[in-house]
Amino acid sequence: MEKNDKDPDHDDKSKGDEKGDVVSDAHPSDDAHHQDGISNENVDVVGNAETDHQDPGDNNVDKVSQGEEAPEIRQTLESLSEELDQFLPTLSLHMEEHKDSTEEKGEDGYFQIPQFVGKFLDLFEEKLSKYDSGEPKTVWYQDPEEVSSLLEAVDRVSKLMGLLLNTKSCLDHHESLINHAGSIQQRAMAFLEDEFRIILEESVTKESVVVTDDSNSQRRSTADQQDHQNDVVVSQDHDQMLVPECGDQEIEYPGYPEDVVVVLRKIAEKMKAGGYGWECREVYLVGRRNILMRTLKQDCEFEKVSIDEVQKMSWDTLEREIPIWNKTFKDCSSLFFPGELKLAERIFPGDEGNLFCIVTHGLAIQFLGFAEAVAMTRRSTEKLFKILDIYETLRDSFPAMEELFPEELRSELRNEVTSARSRLGETAIHIFCDLEHSIKSDSSKTPVPGGAVHPLTRYTMNYLKYSCEYKDTLEQVFKSHSKMEREEEEPVESGNSAFASQLMRIMELLDGNLETKSKQYKDIPLSCIFMMNNGRYIVQKIKGSAEIHEVMGDTWCRRRSSELRNYHKNYQRETWGKLLGFLGHEGLMHNGKIVKPNLKERFKSFNATFDEIHKTQTTWVVNDEQLQSELRVSITAVMIPAYRAFMARFGQYLDPGRQTEKYVKYQPEDIEDLIDQLFEGNTSSSSTATARRRT
Amino acid sequence: MRPAQDNQGSFLGRISIRRNQFVDVNNEQEQEDLELFQKHIADRFTELLSPPQPPPSDEINTVASVAATEQIMSVTWLRKLMDVFLCCEAEFKAILLMGRDPTQISKPPFDRLVPEMLDRSIKALDICTAVVNGIDSVRHYQRLAEIAVTALEQRPLGDGNVRRAKRALANLVVALSLEDKENVSGGGGGGGGGNKTTERSWSFGRRSGGSSAASKGGATIGQLKSSSWAVGRNWSAAKQIHAMTANLTPPRGNEAAGLPQPMFIMSTVMVFVMWVLTAAVPCQERSGLANHLPVPPKHLNWAQSLIGIHEKIGDEWKKKEKKGSAGLMEEMTRMEKLGHSLMEFADGFHYPAEKDAAESAAVQVAEMAEICRRMEEELVPLQQQIREVFHRIVRSRAEILEVLEQAGKVSAPVV
């Protein structure tokens, strides 16, 4: 080992070549780098171009030094570190003194490098070799003493390299030492790089506990500050500022323990200070992208899907994918992406925007591609609600995500989101157009038995009910994404939103279709029942939903109720008006005397007609209990008083006994009971086998 | 970009103004438009086929550098290709939709041709996504190369710098070859195998992560998992291109004189452009890609230049497949060669540097630096152009579907 120490001096003797300008990475700019991969090298040019030739006197100095080392003293990395810390300011001062000089005095320019520098490097190299051989049993980063010791040693080597490379006399006379120091620096940086990757990858999957000795850290920081107080060029160690504040908010993702983040940051700092920051960044970028994808898969069940695959998916499959996408996007916006940005900020302060973008931007683009893909699938009315879910996620979650990105990428992402939302919005609007078309073109020929609620009505109203649960979103969709042509074709009524107008168009189409279908019933009263059933169902659905009620408005509901009353009147007139005709007085009295045959005929006609009505209309369906009750009450209110009055006036003319039994088939109570049997959908006493239906 | 924008503005403006005029296009005018369209296609691809000729050897470096940047498959050239595609697409859409009765493109043979074209559009969108992801990988390679450049530019050149460069170059070479291995093994399973291999080398290199790992070529920075740059499970760029070529046959007889002709041309151009992109940039699963592009018949005048470009790229592709390397992008090709060469220099390096070897290496380092600088300037703009192509395809598809609906179709055609 002693002989090795002498080699640098011997090499120096043989080197007389003149050196040109030197470019050094020792002091990369601390400014944030917003461009990928640009090497922002700090160029320090030593102005003195003259060659410093050695004279015989130098040899004498070396010999004297060698003599001084005759008594061997046991040296450690720690003791040599202290000596080196004292030496570096001297070297720095020397560099400054000769930085701008244009003349080089031979003897003054030469700078003697003490032997302990080489010794320090040898011991450090020895330490690194032990690490490489896996000698320490514990994981390196979990030993705070080892972490601090190594990082400080790396720091000293980097400072030494920086000074040597920027001092012309050292370049001229100490090339061998520079090579040795550079070699050790590289080995140390490679070690740190590997440890950085290991910590980044492993710490996130298993919780590790690092005991932080705050007092020790304080002591070291103080010592460092004192030792470096004379450094003019080399930036001071700010370990003290790295001690986490008690009030620091603990982030949920990515979930590295606080002390692990501190270690990562220190490694990044030392690597950057030594000019090896690019390696550290690249390890970070690869590691974080892999971890982020794995996390999304584990936590959200997220898997990337191609657009082609989305087009081919069955609705069942896509219906399961969309909620996964929604959750993933929301979690990325609220948790994963902010977590990535914060982590980057804490490990690479000042450069976090750049790193964050590389980790997340491609993923964000593909997220939006999925939204576009869904909008491009074959349309069907059942897809509306999932499409609106995606639309809402983009509307509600993207702003928070957007703010994480720098402006140039932000505008690009905003354009992507605008495009995706436009496609989704247009698709939603087209789905309503398709609904209009299917309502208009529903042309089933078979009337619904019993005049019950038509499936078209049931489907449409349920659909609108669910739609109106997205009322605010649909208002926005119709306002923002309607094509100009539509607005021109159908001017929006003043006071109505575009979505409300759409709903009213659908209702009008439904009414029109139902009116057409009602004409399929030959029995006009039945067509009225049909219209009442459907109209009632519609009104009940609207009143039962706050959202849809709000969209349609009270005016529309009142108009609806008015129309229902008209159908009610028509029904009564067409059915019971006729029956009431038999209870009139005309033709029954002549010259104050009863015309018995006519009276008998009246009773017979009434009975037969009532029987027929009862038989028929018990099979008709009115499922709505209130409507059913209203119908019965209104029929009863008209029929019973009239029948009772008729009986009171003319019943007496029939002979008690046989005639009464023959012609007076019903008492008023009987008729009332029978009216209460109407609209049950009861087919037990009917020749038709229609199943009884209830809502 | 400017020509594309001009064309886009004028064509789209005309489309929107005359969208609702359901008047049959005058037959003579249509013939003239169709012939003009073919001429424009031929002209644009002729320009792409014949970049500025390399200057004589005694010319200054600046001219040589300019010529090199515009070689086929360079980033600059790929960007021009994107512009050409956008111009062709805008012109085609004007022919297809402008002033035309919607029912015309819903009758035979368009009831078959249009859905096929829309299906190709869907597949093209996925390829755009794959290529954008692939360019992210290329940027990663660029950053690795940048580290090597930084190390080897250091003076004086010492053992540490050379080992640093070798380590970065090893990562670069492994990244390039690993991508192809995953591709060759095929499918998700193969990809998984590739990843497992990578992880094993990581484990192996955990404690010998210094120079020994670099000398063994072990990946130390780590490899992007396929999940980071994949488009979807079991997605394959080669299969997509192959599917896009299905039913891609020239119209015959009466059809050759009408609208089916520009539809065939546009479909061919789209497939070709997508094929070029997947050849240039590392993409998910590209094995067999070289065989998946039937060339249009040579008797078609408009296709001459396109065929010429295809032949040049195909030749280069066949050479590359034997070597098993990634991507035909000109810059990546040169980067790979330089990487291997500089690795040899690093392996043979002994301090102090031998003058001749150091000077030779310095020339290569300068070339690598130039490549990195150009990639730095143009890769992101290329990604942006591809995103623009993506959105153009999406919009055009939506417009065509809307026209079909106006033609009275109850539901969208099966795509």
Q: For chain B, what is the total number of helices (H) and then of strands (E)?
A: 14, 0
A168, A294, A297, A304: best to mutate for the B interface, most B CBs within 10 A:
A304
Interface of B with A in 309-328 (CB under 8 A): none
Q: Which of B126, B155, B164 sits opposite A23 (nearest CB)?
A: B155
Please tell me if residue B56 touches chain A, with a CB cutoff of 8 Å: no
Residue B255 φ then ψ, to 5°: -60, -30
B166, B207, B376: best to mutate for the A interface, most A CBs within 10 A:
B207
- Contact between chains at A194 and B351 (C-beta distance less than 8 A): no
Distance from A154 to chain B by nearest Cα, in Å?
A: 14
Q: Could you tell me which chain A residue has the CA closest to the CA of B372?
A: A37
Interface of A with B in 223-282 (CB under 8 A): 275-276, 278-279, 281-282
User: Is B355 exposed, middle or buried (CB count within 10 Å of its CB: 0-12, 13-18, 19+)?
Assistant: exposed
Please tell me if residue B178 touches chain A, with a CB cutoff of 8 Å: no
Alpha helices in A407-497 (DSSP H): 407-441, 455-468, 471-481, 484-489
Please tell me if residue A523 touches chain B, with a CB cutoff of 8 Å: no
pLDDT of amino acid A634: 92
CB environment B5-38: b (16+ within 10 A), e (fewer):
eebbeebbeebeeebeeeeebeeeebeebbeebb
Distance from B339 to chain A by nearest Cα, in Å?
A: 17
- Contact between chains at B126 and A311 (C-beta distance less than 8 A): no
- Contact between chains at A178 and B158 (C-beta distance less than 8 A): yes
- Contact between chains at A25 and B154 (C-beta distance less than 8 A): yes
Please tell me if residue A286 touches chain B, with a CB cutoff of 8 Å: yes
Distance from B412 to chain A by nearest Cα, in Å?
A: 6
Please tell me if residue A299 touches chain B, with a CB cutoff of 8 Å: no
Determine the 3-state secondary structure of A551 from DSSP.
helix
Amino acid at A236: Q
pLDDT of amino acid B291: 63
Determine the 3-state secondary structure of A167 from DSSP.
coil
The angle formed by the CA atoms of residues A89, A93 and A95, to the nearest 5 degrees, is: 115
Separation CA A262–CA A260 (nearest Å): 5
Residue A496 binned pLDDT confidence (cut-offs 50, 70, 90): low
Q: Which residue has the higher pLDDT, A406 or B2?
A: A406
Residue A663: is its pLDDT beyond 50?
A: yes
A322, A346 contact by CB (below 8 A): no
Residue A246 binned pLDDT confidence (cut-offs 50, 70, 90): very low
The arithmetic mean of pLDDT across residues A422-442, rounded, is 91
What are the chain B neighbours of A175 within 8 Å (beta carbons)? 156, 352
Amino acid at A627: L
Please tell me if residue B230 touches chain A, with a CB cutoff of 8 Å: yes
The percentage of residues in chain A with a pLDDT greater than 90, rounded to a whole number, is 36
CA distances in angstroms from B32 to B36, B257, B371, listed in the order given = 6, 11, 45
Please tell me if residue A297 touches chain B, with a CB cutoff of 8 Å: yes
Q: Could you tell me which chain A residue has the CA closest to the CA of B207?
A: A132
Q: Which of B220, B228, B394 sits opposite A289 (nearest CB)?
A: B228
Domains of chain A: 4-202 (no CATH), 215-429 (1.20.1280.170), 442-567 (no CATH), 582-692 (1.20.1280.170)
Please tell me if residue B394 touches chain A, with a CB cutoff of 8 Å: yes
Q: Which of A178, A201, A378 sits opposite B156 (nearest CB)?
A: A178
Query: Which token pair is A239?
Result: 């370990």
Residue A328 binned pLDDT confidence (cut-offs 50, 70, 90): very high
Q: Which of B153, B210, B391 sits opposite A191 (nearest CB)?
A: B210
Interface of A with B in 155-194 (CB under 8 A): 171, 175, 178-179, 181-187, 189-191, 193-194
pLDDT of amino acid A591: 82
A348, A281 contact by CB (below 8 A): yes
Separation CA A326–CA A390 (nearest Å): 6
- Contact between chains at B156 and A171 (C-beta distance less than 8 A): yes
Distance from A545 to chain B by nearest Cα, in Å?
A: 31
Interface of B with A in 253-272 (CB under 8 A): none
Which of A641-645, A678-682, B69-73, B95-99 ranks highest by mean pLDDT? Answer: A641-645
Alpha helices in B205-329 (DSSP H): 211-216, 226-229, 237-245, 260-280, 304-323
CB proximity list for B81: less than 8 A, separation 6 or greater: B48, B273, B276
pLDDT of amino acid A142: 76
CA atoms within 13 A on the CB side of A159: 25
Interface of A with B in 602-661 (CB under 8 A): none
Residue A104: is its pLDDT beyond 60?
A: no
DSSP A27: S
pLDDT of amino acid A32: 38
Q: Which of B126, B150, B209 sits opposite A306 (nearest CB)?
A: B126
Separation CA A123–CA B205 (nearest Å): 24
- Contact between chains at A289 and B225 (C-beta distance less than 8 A): yes
The arithmetic mean of pLDDT across residues A243-252, rounded, is 41
DSSP A448: P
The arithmetic mean of pLDDT across residues A494-512, rounded, is 85
Residue A213 binned pLDDT confidence (cut-offs 50, 70, 90): very low
A197, A308, A357: best to mutate for the B interface, most B CBs within 10 A:
A308
Q: Which of A19, A35, A358 sits opposite B376 (nearest CB)?
A: A35
pLDDT of amino acid B226: 73
Residue A134 binned pLDDT confidence (cut-offs 50, 70, 90): low
Please tell me if residue A294 touches chain B, with a CB cutoff of 8 Å: yes
Please tell me if residue A139 touches chain B, with a CB cutoff of 8 Å: no
Q: Which residue has the higher pLDDT, A8 or B154?
A: B154
A307, A370, A439: best to mutate for the B interface, most B CBs within 10 A:
A307
pLDDT of amino acid A623: 84
Interface of B with A in 182-221 (CB under 8 A): 205-212, 214, 220-221
Q: Could you tell me which chain A residue has the CA closest to the CA of B195?
A: A290
Please tell me if residue A132 touches chain B, with a CB cutoff of 8 Å: yes
A56, A199 contact by CB (below 8 A): no
- Contact between chains at B163 and A187 (C-beta distance less than 8 A): yes
- Contact between chains at A379 and B122 (C-beta distance less than 8 A): no
Interface of A with B in 188-217 (CB under 8 A): 189-191, 193-194, 197-198, 201
Separation CA A225–CA A155 (nearest Å): 14
Distance from A281 to chain B by nearest Cα, in Å?
A: 10
pLDDT of amino acid B208: 37
CA distances in angstroms from A520 to A441, A567, A622, A688, listed in the order given = 16, 16, 18, 18
The arithmetic mean of pLDDT across residues A658-685, rounded, is 82
Q: Which of B132, B143, B214 sits opposite A282 (nearest CB)?
A: B143
What are the chain B neighbours of A130 within 8 Å (beta carbons)? none
pLDDT (tens, 9 = 90+) of chain B, 415 residues, equals 333 333 333 334 334 433 344 444 566 777 788 888 998 999 999 989 875 555 555 444 444 444 555 678 999 999 989 999 999 999 998 999 877 788 878 878 888 899 999 989 999 999 999 999 999 999 899 999 999 999 999 888 899 999 899 889 998 988 877 554 444 333 333 333 333 333 323 332 333 333 333 333 445 677 676 777 788 978 999 988 989 988 888 997 878 888 898 999 999 999 999 999 999 998 887 777 776 666 788 778 899 898 999 888 988 777 766 555 568 898 988 798 899 899 889 999 988 887 889 989 999 999 999 899 889 999 999 999 998 899 889 979 898 987 887 786 444 443 3
- Contact between chains at A39 and B150 (C-beta distance less than 8 A): yes
Separation CA A688–CA A686 (nearest Å): 5
* pLDDT tens-digit readout, A171-210: 888 878 899 899 999 989 999 999 898 898 766 543 333 3
Q: What pairs with residue A621 in β-bridges?
A: A680
Query: Which token pair is A361?
Result: 């931007």
pLDDT of amino acid B86: 97
The arithmetic mean of pLDDT across residues A523-545, rounded, is 91
Please tell me if residue B333 touches chain A, with a CB cutoff of 8 Å: no
pLDDT of amino acid B180: 45
pLDDT of amino acid A28: 37
- Contact between chains at A23 and B153 (C-beta distance less than 8 A): yes
Closest among A395, A388, A372 to A323, alpha carbons compared? A388
Handedness of CA A583, A686, A528, A462 (dihedral sign): positive
Q: At what angle do helices B355-406 and B330-347 cross, to 10 degrees?
A: 150
Residue A251: is its pLDDT beyond 90?
A: no
Query: Which token pair is A324?
Result: 């996964």
Bond before B109 cis per omega within 30 degrees: yes
A234, A92 contact by CB (below 8 A): yes
What are the chain A neighbours of B161 within 8 Å (beta carbons)? 182, 186
Q: At what angle do helices A455-468 and A471-481 cross, to 10 degrees?
A: 90
